[in-house]
A and B are shown apart, each in its own frame.
Chain A
């Protein structure tokens, strides 16, 4: 019994690492730029295709292609922020919602057209490997993905807390107007935030590629969990999103294991409702606010 339980927790934790990369991106954009990026999942998809084509055309390992997918998507994020998002920022939310939603639909259908609906997988020597410890097993590809995801999250945390730009982003996230009065250039901060968020999505894509198939709709699978984690971990709170993502992964895994294989999401949303009932602003909210 404890073995099954431990295995379920390991499975959940490992996939939770991927959810974390996606949800941190969403929460970062929301915290700093104050918009919801509905297209975040599509950028995961793009990251996957970048890794897929680098692997099949040039034989580059998906994990190595991280150094391509992250900068490419960072640049894409800066450009999107500069040419699209910047123009719709304002008191009215509707244009922003439509913009990112349209972006999502555009990227989805574009990739359907370019890459077709087929599933694409990459085989690496560690794709089907697992470490067996006692009765438990740990898939190597997922463990690597989890470790890199946690390292990237840690780097982001260090960046936000020790660099001027990072502090400026946190300041903008806490109070945009006051931050601007203190001389912070919002356009620069927004561009870096959007770029960083997309780079994380790209990283998630590259990390997924050794063990998950790439197809145009793949982003939708992950973005749903990311949004749940963002709400649960308090909107705009990076650490909250990280913790909530890991919890979501574990909840889903336990749900499938002990409730029913089609009930993973029921448990996840049940947990979300419970959280919202007792801590309406999420787990990451400061007490007394």
Chain B
């Protein structure tokens, strides 16, 4: 059973009243929740006949600038919960069903803080997952840390693994992405000459500096390193410079609109260069829709891809049926995360968030939906990082993302462009 939550706006405005209404609401929910549950499970008159559902909080931006991706995440979260429940729920808790409680963080850091607070104080939660964007997840994980509720996330910021014991990150970290990108440059040519262009913002500058530091260790030569102003009207002068640099691979650390212009301009110039667009918006179905055929052969990195194993392909097929799009990295990763939570709940035999955290910290899976990740194994280190986590190099082939790197995860050969 899933339930979207739309709390009254007044809780935002008057904090003192908020705490009062919360207490009332908890009682209210306990009463009405029972009645509702009775209705849902075929009018069983007594609570406790069916096992109490286990509440999982989901924090995603379903409005605002990240709404589209956030909505996709919620669709994946619902799919995952349905899959767990259809398989019989959590058996050690009397086949209890998972109950997803979605909260909209509105693509905004301030809202994320209040919404996370509200979600935790207003519901008896066993765990939370969210929030897609690292900037939002950093805030939510802080709140979770204080409230002692475990949060599991596909966000990639390395910051998430610092000073937190309730945050779990089963997938590759941002620092690993940079390394993978550099190694992929060597797929194209033994003498990798890379042009790095990045927008002159915090995101572009920090990511590009990471690349620059790692490049010598990976045997990759950076022949051009150029910041540009985001939101330009014309990419031609920039591509002119790339052409003059003699690079054979282009790393473009850009948001979608600039990247679209850059890719189109490279095609117009007729420049023979491999493009690596990194992660984020680049590995979303929308990118291909916007760029079209010009996207064929473009490379990127992801923390999950739908061809990684058979289970992932099953998830992908079901996600496609529900939404019409292939399961993007975060959506697929989210299904795996839900199964990690289910595994932890099963072993904890308790819905208590602290016990769930304990069980998560000793998670060790190498098969099933919980393990569908590049590397195929999940086990958390003391910093909440999956010790086996690694990114997968992908390439747009025939309007789909194919895994091409590293060798162990490659499911299709590199398409030469």
Contacts and interface: CB of A to CB of B under 8 A. Distances in A.
23 contacts: A119-B256, A121-B290, A128-B264, A128-B293, A128-B294, A130-B270, A132-B270, A137-B269, A139-B236, A139-B265, A139-B268, A212-B261, A221-B231, A221-B232, A221-B233, A222-B233, A225-B233, A256-B237, A256-B238, A257-B241, A260-B227, A261-B197, A261-B237
B244 to A, nearest CB: 6
B227 A262 contact: yes
Nearest to B66: A117
Given A123-B292, A128-B268, A139-B268, A261 B241 contact: yes
Contact of A116 (B68, B264, B293): B68
B229 A137 contact: no
A55 to B, nearest CB: 13
Interface string A223-264: 001000000000000000000000000001110110011101
Chain A to chain B: the 10 pairs with minimum beta-carbon distance, closest first:
A261-B228, A256-B237, A11-B236, A130-B268, A15-B234, A257-B237, A262-B229, A121-B290, A117-B65, A262-B200
Contacts of B264: 127-128, 211
A93 interface: no
A243 to B, nearest CB: 19
B244 A213 contact: no
Contacts of A264: 229, 232, 237
A118 B290 CA distance: 10
Interface in B220-278: 226-229, 231-234, 236-238, 240-241, 244, 256-257, 260-261, 264-265, 267-270
B325 interface: no
Nearest to A220: B231
B158 interface: no
A108 interface: no
B328 to A, nearest CB: 15
Contacts of A123: 292
A7 B257 CA distance: 23
Nearest to B242: A261
B234 A11 contact: yes
B213 interface: no
A265 interface: yes
A8 B233 CA distance: 14
Contacts of B256: 119, 213
Given A7-B240, A257-B237, A261-B241, A137 B227 contact: no
Contacts of A137: 268-270
A174 interface: no
Contacts of A260: 226-227
Chain B binding surface, main DSSP class: helix
Interface residues of A, number: 39
Contacts of A256: 228, 232, 237-238, 241
B267 A128 contact: yes
Contacts of B261: 212-213
Contacts of B238: 256, 261
Contacts of A119: 256-257, 260, 290
A187 interface: no
A74 interface: no
Given A137-B268, A261-B226, A118 B68 contact: yes
B67 interface: yes
A60 B261 CA distance: 22
B218 interface: no
A262 to B, nearest CB: 5
B284 to A, nearest CB: 11
A222 B293 CA distance: 28
A215 interface: yes
Interface string B52-77: 00000000000011011000000000
A11 B260 CA distance: 17
Given A4-B240, A119-B256, A121-B260, 7 more contacts: A4-B244, A119-B260, A127-B264, A129-B268, A215-B257, A253-B234, A265-B229
Contact of A213 (B68, B257, B267): B257
A253 B237 contact: yes
A8 B286 CA distance: 31
Contacts of A213: 256-257, 260-261, 290
